[in-house]
């Protein structure tokens, strides 16, 4: 049976994506994200079969949560095995995003998706790095005050991730409106 690699995310509106895209330079050999890859992950699910994917989509359909007013706030870096790996833009405020994530987690728990333990750091990935990437510190310094006007996250998206040679491509599977 075919397998689907799923995650649940929020999609920033176009002006915010344009702001982020405008910041995407200054690290040599970084793999900057395309416009259609920009998202804030609420929950990574992983590989599931089609029946389970349908259960997950249905469970998310029962989600009731308010839309969120958010803003971009600075940039950061995740390391993997002590090597810079992911450059991201921060998103604030944490409390409503964490509350929405909890609701998503509760919906998924009802269809048997195990809860995850890693800390939730709301972020939008800007670039992936490998060992050939240049220094990151100048980028982090330059954009430490990166900020946007307030914008709305007004729906949650179930995405399918398809891994390819040029990095992962993300396809929206279903959209779930948040309450305005
Ligand atoms: O939203 P970002 O770009 O931070 O790194 C993957 C990406 O994160 C992450 O899920 C998002 C959509 O692919 N991801 C991939 N595998 C993961 C895993 N095993 C994972 N997150 C947690 N656990």
User: What would the pLDDT profile of 34-79 be if each residue is shown by its tens digit?
Assistant: 999 999 999 999 999 999 999 999 999 999 999 999 999 999 999 9
Q: Count of domains in the chain? A: 1
Q: Is residue 1's pLDDT more than 80?
A: no
Rounded to the nearest 10 degrees, the angle between the axes of helix 94-109 and helix 50-61 is 130
ipTM: 0.94
CA 133 / ligand 1 centre spacing (Å): 20
Whole-model pTM? 0.96
User: What would the pLDDT profile of 96-123 be if each residue is shown by its tens digit?
Assistant: 999 999 999 999 999 999 888 899 999 9
Please give the Cα distance from 97 to 101 (Å, whole number). 6
CB neighbours of residue 144 within 10 Å: 10
To the query of whether residue 155 is one of the catalytic residues in this protein, the response is: no
Q: pLDDT band at residue 148, thresholds of 50, 70 and 90?
A: very high
* CATH number of residue 170's parent domain: 3.90.1140.10
Q: Which domain holds residue 129?
A: 3-176
Atom of ligand 1 nearest to the CA of 33: 3
Please give the Cα distance from 37 to 51 (Å, whole number). 26
Query: Helix or strand or coil: residue 68?
Result: strand
Q: Whose CA is nearest to atom 20 of ligand 1?
A: 44
Ligand 1 binding pocket (C-beta < 6 A) is: 7, 41, 44, 86, 125, 161, 168
């Amino acid at each position: 049976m075919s397998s689907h690699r799923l995650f649940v995310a929020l999609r920033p509106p176009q002006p915010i994506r344009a702001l982020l895209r405008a910041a995407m330079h200054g690290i040599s050999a970084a793999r900057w994200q395309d416009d259609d890859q920009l998202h804030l992950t609420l929950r990574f699910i992983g590989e599931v079969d089609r029946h389970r994917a349908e259960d997950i989509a249905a469970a998310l359909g029962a989600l009731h949560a308010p839309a969120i007013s958010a803003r971009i706030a600075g940039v950061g870096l995740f390391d993997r095995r002590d090597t810079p790996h992911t450059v991201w833009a921060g998103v604030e405020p944490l409390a409503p995003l964490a509350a929405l994530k909890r609701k998503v987690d509760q919906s998924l728990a009802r269809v048997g998706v195990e809860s995850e333990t890693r800390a939730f750091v709301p972020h939008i990935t800007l670039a992936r790095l490998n060992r050939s990437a240049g220094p990151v510190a100048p980028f982090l310094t330059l954009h430490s005050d990166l900020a946007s006007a307030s914008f709305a996250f007004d729906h949650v998206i179930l995405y399918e991730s398809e891994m390819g040679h040029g990095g992962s491509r993300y396809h929206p599977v279903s959209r779930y409106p948040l309450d305005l």
